[in-house]
Structure 1
């Protein structure tokens, strides 16, 4: 009986293990890579002390937890890795059971697309995937709870208006030069 219990537990454990690639796994796997720049930003990046906020601004901020940025800087030494890594991200984002495409900009090898995880009014993650063949690409995950597209637009607007600490973004600014 004990062997049967152990066997059944092992089977359940193996079945429940999700080997499907996700952006979270992709971020973890590449955070320490020399080809990538990784930045994690908390909600405190938005300095609202000198701003007057509407109730909808406050609601949007309350739904926002953090932002993760993973950027691949294309250089002469990693050209071949670039195509492989872009395809990995595209494959992950093609999983329509997890990621819903919201909109797409640009065409061909240069452009950006926005995805979300959840349903229209209860979004837990927005994903921006921007790609420029000459420079590289970036994946931005905006994580929160019960966000909606209007919340994200408000958060982006507040980020632009706020007095953010640009030192946190220096690695990304260096990459874009």
Structure 2
């Protein structure tokens, strides 16, 4: 009887721990081989920076940044229904409580949002989402360690000084107009 009770408790715990909610990371993985999506992983080397010219604050910000994961859906006349379905999935994922929204812009057919995962002092990732009805949508995960809003602001100043290697972003060319 005791053995049966222990087995029942273990099964209940396993069933409760299974989560049907899809994370953004899982969504990226699930769609990485899908022909309608463009997938890019971009490291900080894209910035082509002379690190000796950076301030200590900029160096700290750059060190907190690991990489960008970019997933873009290019809309065309053959995948309109899939575009609507996939953009609804992204919106649903970003409504989960782990994604804290910082900003959202909605002008009808164009939508953009910035969210983050973690705490304000230790941000694990920033999520940038942009949707344009005539082109498609893109989700960018900015991943790093110990990122915070100050680091992001400093990283923005670093971006202004960088010589971005546009060749790494070539697959996104037709998506952005």
The two structures have a TM-score, normalised by structure 1, of 0.89
- Report the Cα distance in structure 2 between the residues aligned to 1:110 and 1:70, rounded to whole angstroms: 17
Does 1:18 pair with 2:10? no
- Describe the SS at the equivalent of 2:22: coil
- Report the Cα distance in structure 2 between the residues aligned to 1:71 and 1:160, rounded to whole angstroms: 24
Q: Deviations over 1:52-98 (max 9, x none)?
A: 11111011111111110000100011011111111111111111x21
- Report the Cα distance in structure 1 between the residues aligned to 2:17 and 2:127, rounded to whole angstroms: 26
Query: What's the offset of the Cα at 1:160?
Result: 3.9
Match runs of 1:119-158 below 5 Å? 119-158=119-158
- Report the Cα distance in structure 1 between the residues aligned to 2:159 and 2:93, rounded to whole angstroms: 28
Look up the match of 1:116.
116
Q: Which moved more, 1:74-83 or 1:43-52?
A: 43-52
Q: Deviations over 1:110-149 (max 9, x none)?
A: 0211001111111111000001100001000001122112
Unaligned residue ranges in structure 1 (runs of 5+): none
- Describe the SS at the equivalent of 1:38: strand
- Report the Cα distance in structure 1 between the residues aligned to 2:145 and 2:62, rounded to whole angstroms: 10
- Describe the SS at the equivalent of 1:76: coil
8 Å CA contact retained: 1:101, 1:114: yes
Query: What's the offset of the Cα at 1:31?
Result: 1.1
Alignment: residue pair count:
176
The two structures have a TM-score, normalised by structure 2, of 0.89
- Report the Cα distance in structure 1 between the residues aligned to 2:154 and 2:111, rounded to whole angstroms: 23
Does 1:42 pair with 2:43? yes
8 Å CA contact retained: 1:72, 1:138: yes
Q: CA RMSD in A?
A: 1.9
Q: Which moved more, 1:83-92 or 1:8-17?
A: 8-17
Match runs of 1:58-73 below 5 Å? 58-73=59-74
8 Å CA contact retained: 1:51, 1:162: no
Residues 1:18 and 1:44: Cα distance change in structure 2 (over 3 Å): farther
Look up the match of 2:91.
90
- Describe the SS at the equivalent of 1:176: coil
- Report the Cα distance in structure 2 between the residues aligned to 1:74 and 1:114, rounded to whole angstroms: 22
Query: What's the offset of the Cα at 1:168?
Result: 1.2
- Report the Cα distance in structure 2 between the residues aligned to 1:157 and 1:70, rounded to whole angstroms: 25
